Structure 1
Amino acid sequence: MIREPSRSHLYTRFRAWPGLGRAGTYPTTEEFSHNMTTRLEHNVADTRFEIYIDDTLAGYADYAEREDAKVRDFHHTMTFPEFRGHGVAGQVVGFALDESRSQGFTIIPTCWYVDKYVAEHREYADLVA
């Protein structure tokens, strides 16, 4: 079952996991990456790439496809508050760019985060339309 994170979910989630920080606090980066499973998916119906941490939606990168060409306009990236600071946005954007390349798309980095990511990872510069 897929769970959408919520504010109340923020504090109860980590309290339920033994050894992950103090109750009501975020896990450290080491605890976060060591004890959680990550799944990346392309949600074609909602035109976004998603990242799940322990089956909870942690973030996504939205895009719009141009009808006249194989171009994806990445216009929004979101990481839910309880997952911020652990590289979640970078993982989902990297996955989105890799998938776009493999499917023959170029991109328009309208979202500031995608633009910054491409600038810092020059191996994706050739994707920019």
Structure 2
Amino acid sequence: MDREAIEEAIEVLEDASAEMLTETGNENYYGEAIAVLRQALETEQEPVAFINVEKQKLEWAKLTSWHTPTIVNLPKIPLYTAPPKREWVGLTDEEVSYCRYAATFCDELDTAYMAELIEKDLKEKNHG
């Protein structure tokens, strides 16, 4: 969902919430949905520049421009500084307990295989 759509959804929900106040007396009828949308707006990454292929230039988000030659007629392409940082997801307590239990029955080769499986699971949990 793009920024404009989120802002429009917040506006619609605020209007609907005002209508629900008169019907139900609940002034914060859609409050949770509005809060989630506002959080999405806050965490959304802002572009640092746009490539405006039509005008053949790079347009910085802060009123700076740089002219570049191009042949193709395409819309602006947003550029970002870096992808948002993801929170590390580790093993659950249940998974750690299972690993400890399973390790008591393993020899050296089995433990190496188990370590590979744990590493694979952690990579999957952390999108990579």
Q: TM-score, normalised by structure 2?
A: 0.21
Higher helix share: 2
Where relative contact order (Cα < 8 A, 6+ residues apart) is larger, the structure is: 1
Higher strand share: 1
Structure possessing the higher radius of gyration over alpha carbons: 2
Q: TM-score, normalised by structure 1?
A: 0.21
